[in-house]
Structure formats: structure tokens, C-alpha cells
Amino acid sequence: MRVAAILEYDGSNFSGWQRQNQARSVQGIVEAALSKVADEPIQVTVAGRTDAGVHAAGQVIHFDTSAERSDYSWVRGVNSNLPPDVVFLWAGPVDNSFHARYSATGRHYHYSVLNRPARPTYLARRITHEYRPLDIKRMLQGAQHLLGKHDFTSFRATECQAKSPVRELRALEVVRQNEFVHIRVHANAFLHHMVRNIAGVLMTIGAGEREPDWAKEVLDARDRKAGGVTAAPDGLYLVSVSYPNSAKIPEFVHALPFPDIY
């Protein structure tokens, strides 16, 4: 049978999602826990691989197994074998045609910045720090140039393995809440480092180092060298993944470690 699951993790102490021989990965930890509960080797497929230091509030996976367990038993059993920085929120059977990555219709990311002179303490490694005052009106003006379906070559990592650089950016919001600046992004899919590179461009604009039209110049250049600095991973969260209703993947109001702005 095929089982899907939704999980949450703090990426601070992981080398990223993908399994690696000499480093601690979320995939390795999750597969080890699932294999214990299933009493057989389990390999998982993920909706979106996250980089080192990137967090997830609603990551989605699927796996195939011959083990018969209740939904409750999968969640309770796996969580008892997971470290404190990873947790299953839900698990349940899905149709064999379901695919965590290819069945997805959209991804939602949240990038959060503590915008003040002093560095963070209890939010360290869970939020990006920017000491320069950020003007969100300028950031919003720059963001408008990126909405829609475009070639995002300038916003992807040079080692990105995606076959096409074209993505549809459906929403890009910038919101200030006291000392926090939040960037919320929704697209059909994302390229490697795409959200962090968008955040880097918008923060440069917000700090007054570039004009808002620079975002369009970067986009039109189709050259990663034109895109400036990649923002730190600390403040990036994969919030949720969207699927057709027929997939029957539940939606959660996910908890993020800063004041609620939703």
C-alpha cells in the first residue's frame, strides 16, 4: 500500500532533506524511523527537498510498504522513533497514483526576517537577521515584477538540476509586523535556492541599495550572476504543499515561530 505523511522539522541541525552518507539528513532520520515501525526497509519520496538550515511546517512525503498499520499507529510509532527536531503531523493511505512531488499543484514558502540592529537570541537559526532598515513599500514594488510565469534562471542556483527554469509565481507578499518582515511566496514549483534568491533581491531593494525596477532587470538578465546575494537559509520555511482534492491530503494551520500574520 502507499502511505502519505505530513511532517514538520527544524532544519537547523540537518545537512538538508536529502540522504547523505557522512551527514545528518532529514530523509535519513525519517526513513530509519519508518523502517522500525514497518519492520522492513522504507524509502520515501518528498514533495520538495530543502537545503541545510531550511525548516518545514508542512512537508509531504509518500512511501510504499507491505506493513499494515492504522493512521494513528504510523504517527505515534514513527514519532516515538524520531528526534525532537522532527515530527509527523499526519499519515494515511493514498491511491497508488499519488506522488508527493508530481501530484502537487503548488508550494507555499515563508521567509521571515528580524529587522533590527540587534541580532536574535531565542530565534537564532530560525529567522534571518537584517540590521539595515527595510522599506517594504519598495520591496512590494520590486515584487510585482516577478509575479506570473517567467524564466527564473537569474533566481536559481548554478547547480540547480531542474530541466526548465520556467516557473509560475502566483503570489509574492511582503508584510511588516513590528520588527519582523515576512515574505510569503506561492508558486507551482520552485527552483533550487529560488526563494532565497528572491528574498536577497527584495532585501537589497528594501535597504535602498537598488531601485525596485532592479528586480525586473535581474529577471530579464537570465543570468545568476545578475541576481546578487543568496539570502541565508535560517528564515525559510516550507509552509505547505497543495494537492487536488481527490488526493485527500489534509490542510493544517501550521505553527511558525513568530507572531501569527495569517
List, by residue number, the catalytic residues.
Answer: 51
Helices (H), 39-123: 71-79
Residue 217, sorted as left (phi over 0), alpha (psi -120 to 50) or beta, turns out to be alpha
Distance from C-alpha of 223 to C-alpha of 3, rounded to nearest angstrom = 40
Phi/psi for 219 (5° steps) reads -60, -50
103/168 Cα distance (integer angstroms): 16
Q: Do the Cβ atoms of 169 and 147 come closer than 8 Å?
A: yes
Grid coordinates of 130: 537584517
Asked if 233 contacts 195 with a C-beta cutoff of 8 angstroms, the reply is no
CB-based contact 29:210 (threshold 8 Å): no
Integer angstrom CA distances of residue 242 from 188, 246, 260: 9, 11, 21
CA dihedral 176, 178, 179, 184 (to 10 degrees): -30
Largest CA distance in the chain: 58
Q: Scanning the structure block, which residue is given the C-alpha cell 539570502?
A: 231
Quote the CA–CA distance of 208 and 202 in Å, as a whole number.
Answer: 10
